[in-house]
Chain A
Amino acid sequence: MAKKVKGADVLWDVLIRQGVEVVFGYPGGATLPSYDALHRHRIHHVLVRHEQGAAHMADGFSRATGKVGVAFATSGPGATNLVTGLATAMMDSVPMVAVTGQVNSHLIGSDAFQETDVTGITLPVTKHNFLVTKAQEIMPTLRKAFYIAQSGRPGPVLVDITKDAQAAEIEYEYDDRPIRLSGYRPSYKIDKVELQRALELIEKAERPLILAGHGVIRSGASKILQQFVEFTNTPVAMTLLGLGAFPASHPLNLGMMGMHGEAWVNQAIQEADLLLAFGMRFDDRVTGNLKTYATKARKIHIEIDPSEINKNVKVDVGIVGDLREVLEVLTAQVSAGDHGEWIEHIDEMKGSSAVRDIQSLPDNGHLYAAHVINDLWRYTHGKSVVVTDVGQHQMWEAQYYKHDYLRGLITSGGLGTMGFALPAAIGAKFGRPQDEVWAIAGDGGFQMTACELSTIAQEGIKVNVAIINNGFLGMVRQWQEMFYDKNYSATPMRSPDFVKLADAHGLPGLRVTKRSEMQDAVAWAQAQPQSVVIDFRVEQEDSVYPMVPAGADLHNMIRRPMANPIVETAED
């Protein structure tokens, strides 16, 4: 039976029917009718301190759970503040729905107070967006939004709803018939000819290498990937967003590829005779110079988005489809492999890199960021959900926190959004309340969204915040050191006393300056019932190695200098 309700009630009702239990938002003039109706519905609203935080929280929630995260903002400035978060989710294919309020429909186009062309602004940073001006359209539009966000290659969808549509009373009955969108075909039939050609290439390959990306996680292909890997005995290299999709401790997992990837991984890519790209998109941070990238290798690309095939790297076989489905078919037909010599060869390269590894050092009294992260991994037994910011600490995290578990790392890869860690960690905690969540941020990135500590305090949730504090915008400083004659222009950064800042929010804070304090610090953080902030005062001018300079050949890496006093003390 249809009953009379307001558009705002329809909005919350549809969200609940989509399985939404928590939304992240900030109210304003154009969303007043929706917030007025909020108390009538069983949904938890997290009041953020800035709408960028709402978008990152929805994003973090989604990455931690695989579900659709939801962010709310009012019209005008509220909506424009979401843009960074939408772009972040768009670049990393994260399913998210953002709901924004819009001025009354009769005022659209009149430059009304807090009016902005939000669908226009967000067009290139959303998978799709909608403007809703009638209450009757709220239900079908939101259903489409959720469907589009999570099907095919996922992404953020924005629904802009006018204030009068939220306020209007309509006859409402939920329609749960299948959604029909004639211009949207998220699923593909597997091309049998291409599949056959892929099998032939795999059969012939002597030095095959799998490149595993975010698509493995998104399509739920971890298990079938492991079967494929073990049956064909093919080593696996990971993209940043792929980390956790395949256990780091698995003997066939080589580690991360690309700009700050492991030297042996990049070398293996250059020497391979077959690359199997699974749910990844040959980003420039992964390939380096395209002209010299994996020239010896035939390439098979399995990817849900047809526009990614042959975009950056020309491939021999392109299979469009859901990775899990394709791998299931492929694994059933592929022959067992050996590749023993190839794997031995990679192992040798691994051995020669170990002597340069900062982890091989005895404690020299200094605290290195890489040590902090490696110890964090050790003392959390690799089991926590780590949400990073962007920069040096992010790369050290990728190198030294060994991710054995799916959705154990949440990081902004494509857009590289500073300020992501803290709000995304809040979202992750709401998605996985039983899991230990660590936000790791640099002193720069932390301060971009530090206001969300207040959200943490208000919500009373438990997130451990690790600030890797080197007094610099570290990654930019590293580039200035290497490529701009150490001209540290605008990178030294003074910060507030983070322990006192935590205290101001009623949260415990701690300062750590020595590696010997690490184990106690982690134990202390875990023992506190509330969220904690730890200020790790690390070596100021350390750099991330190895490094492939932007646009350089993948095999031409800058390695950690052997003359480095840190390395001289290595026991190799």
Chain B
Amino acid sequence: MIHTFVAYVENKPGVLNRVSSLFRRRAYNIESLAVGPAHLPGISRMTIEVEAATEDIAHQIAANLYKLVDVLHVDDLTNRKSVKRALALVKIDTSNPQVRSEIIQIASIFKQAEIVDAAPSSLILEIVGYEDTVERFIRMLEPYRILEMQRTGVVGMLRGSEPVSEGLAALEEQQ
């Protein structure tokens, strides 16, 4: 089962390496990883999707993350109400006018998709949504000639109805 962890870490050189080295060393398979600044100064926020065969392994992963001195707080979003989003950019060869109109049509079917760049012979489509939406969208484009594609890792957040973790509250207090 894929578990989604959110980790708050010190925004210092080498921290991403420490986290990824942990996953490599313990043979935990990362499905996706997204990192960016958190709302607290000097702190980065990571969303990590990782395969964990059992709940015990999921606990191991969280416990091992906590063992890293630079990891400040960890939440497991799995089995909790959360919002998760992924993004993809796809550049399609549209030199054929027929293809061009088909692509525009596909983009209009997905309300999360948008044409973000138009050139004489190509279009760049953007999609933001649940990972399976992104997946379905890309599958629709596969019959066409994809020139380039970039997908991001999933980012996630607990919904407001979920109680705020004690650890995160403590972290905010320290700031």
Residues of A within 8 A of B (CB): 119-120, 123-124, 127-128, 131, 148, 181-185, 305-307, 309-311, 314
Chain B residues in 8 Å Cβ range of A182: 72, 171, 174
B119: interface (CB < 8 Å) = no
Contact B60 A311 (CB under 8 A): yes
Instruction: Output the nearest chain A residue to B71 by Cβ-Cβ distance.
Output: A183
Which residues of B (43-90) have their CB < 8 Å from a CB of A?
Answer: 56, 59-60, 63-64, 66-72
Contact B59 A310 (CB under 8 A): yes
B66 to A: closest C-beta gap in Å: 7
B97: interface (CB < 8 Å) = no
**A119-B14, A120-B17, A183-B72 are known contacts. Are A310 and B67 too (CB-CB below 8 A)?**
no
B6 to A: closest C-beta gap in Å: 15
B25: interface (CB < 8 Å) = yes
Task: Give the contacting residue for B25; candidates A124, A307, A309, A310; CB below 8 A.
Answer: A124
B3: interface (CB < 8 Å) = no
Contact A128 B69 (CB under 8 A): yes
Chain B residues in 8 Å Cβ range of A120: 17
B80 to A: closest C-beta gap in Å: 20
CA A127 – CA B25 in complex, angstroms? 14
Contact B69 A184 (CB under 8 A): yes
Q: List 8 A-B contacts (CB under 8 A).
A: A123-B18, A123-B21, A131-B14, A183-B9, A183-B71, A183-B72, A307-B64, A314-B56
A475 to B: closest C-beta gap in Å: 27
Chain A residues in 8 Å Cβ range of B174: 182
Contact A183 B69 (CB under 8 A): yes
CA A148 – CA B64 in complex, angstroms? 16
B126: interface (CB < 8 Å) = no
Contact B66 A306 (CB under 8 A): yes
CA A159 – CA B10 in complex, angstroms? 18
Instruction: Output the nearest chain A residue to B174 by Cβ-Cβ distance.
Output: A182
A458 to B: closest C-beta gap in Å: 37
Chain B residues in 8 Å Cβ range of A119: 14
Q: How many A-B residue pairs have CB under 8 A?
A: 40
Chain A residues in 8 Å Cβ range of B18: 123
**Per-position contact with A for B6-25: 1 when CB-CB < 8 Å, else 0?**
00011000100110010001
CA A181 – CA B56 in complex, angstroms? 28
Chain A residues in 8 Å Cβ range of B171: 182
Task: Give the contacting residue for B10; candidates A183, A305, A314; CB below 8 A.
Answer: A183
Contact A123 B17 (CB under 8 A): yes
Contact B69 A124 (CB under 8 A): no
Instruction: Output the nearest chain B residue to A144 by Cβ-Cβ distance.
Output: B69
Chain B residues in 8 Å Cβ range of A148: 69
CA A314 – CA B56 in complex, angstroms? 9
Chain B residues in 8 Å Cβ range of A183: 9-10, 68-72
Chain A residues in 8 Å Cβ range of B14: 119, 131
Chain A residues in 8 Å Cβ range of B71: 183
B168 to A: closest C-beta gap in Å: 12
Instruction: Output the nearest chain A residue to B170 by Cβ-Cβ distance.
Output: A182
Contact A307 B72 (CB under 8 A): no
**A119-B14, A310-B60 are known contacts. Are A181 and B21 too (CB-CB below 8 A)?**
no
CA A120 – CA B15 in complex, angstroms? 11
Chain A residues in 8 Å Cβ range of B56: 310, 314
CA A393 – CA B171 in complex, angstroms? 51
Task: Give the contacting residue for B67; candidates A131, A305, A309; CB below 8 A.
Answer: A305
Chain A residues in 8 Å Cβ range of B10: 183
Instruction: Output the nearest chain A residue to B55 by Cβ-Cβ distance.
Output: A310
A146 to B: closest C-beta gap in Å: 14
Task: Please list the 4 inter-chain residue pairs (A to B) with the smallest Cβ-Cβ separation, ordered nearest first.
Answer: A307-B63, A183-B72, A306-B63, A128-B69
Instruction: Output the nearest chain B residue to A307 by Cβ-Cβ distance.
Output: B63
A120, A131, A306: most-surrounded residue (chain B CB, <10 A): A306
Chain B residues in 8 Å Cβ range of A127: 69
CA A450 – CA B60 in complex, angstroms? 40
A92 to B: closest C-beta gap in Å: 16
CA A183 – CA B60 in complex, angstroms? 17
Which residues of B (141-175) have their CB < 8 Å from a CB of A?
Answer: 171, 174
CA A309 – CA B62 in complex, angstroms? 12
CA A305 – CA B14 in complex, angstroms? 24
Instruction: Output the nearest chain A residue to B72 by Cβ-Cβ distance.
Output: A183
B28 to A: closest C-beta gap in Å: 12
Chain A residues in 8 Å Cβ range of B59: 310
Task: Give the contacting residue for B60; candidates A131, A184, A307; CB below 8 A.
Answer: A307
A127, A182, A314: most-surrounded residue (chain B CB, <10 A): A182
CA A314 – CA B57 in complex, angstroms? 11
CA A78 – CA B63 in complex, angstroms? 33
Task: Give the contacting residue for A181; candidates B60, B66, B69; CB below 8 A.
Answer: B69
B62 to A: closest C-beta gap in Å: 9
Chain A residues in 8 Å Cβ range of B25: 124
CA A173 – CA B64 in complex, angstroms? 36
CA A62 – CA B12 in complex, angstroms? 31
CA A311 – CA B60 in complex, angstroms? 7
A255 to B: closest C-beta gap in Å: 31
**A124-B25, A182-B72, A183-B10 are known contacts. Are A307 and B17 too (CB-CB below 8 A)?**
no
Which residues of B (109-134) have their CB < 8 Å from a CB of A?
Answer: none
Chain B residues in 8 Å Cβ range of A306: 63, 66
Please give 15 more A-B residue pairs, beta carbons under 8 A apart, in addition to A124-B25, A182-B174, A183-B10.
A123-B18, A123-B21, A127-B69, A128-B68, A182-B171, A183-B9, A183-B72, A184-B69, A185-B66, A306-B66, A307-B66, A307-B67, A309-B63, A311-B60, A314-B56
B64, B68, B69, B71: most-surrounded residue (chain A CB, <10 A): B69
Instruction: Output the nearest chain B residue to A155 by Cβ-Cβ distance.
Output: B67
B86 to A: closest C-beta gap in Å: 27
CA A314 – CA B63 in complex, angstroms? 16
**A310-B59, A310-B60, A311-B60 are known contacts. Are A124 and B66 too (CB-CB below 8 A)?**
no
CA A182 – CA B11 in complex, angstroms? 13
Instruction: Output the nearest chain B residue to A308 by Cβ-Cβ distance.
Output: B63
CA A183 – CA B8 in complex, angstroms? 9
Chain B residues in 8 Å Cβ range of A184: 69
CA A181 – CA B59 in complex, angstroms? 23
B33 to A: closest C-beta gap in Å: 17
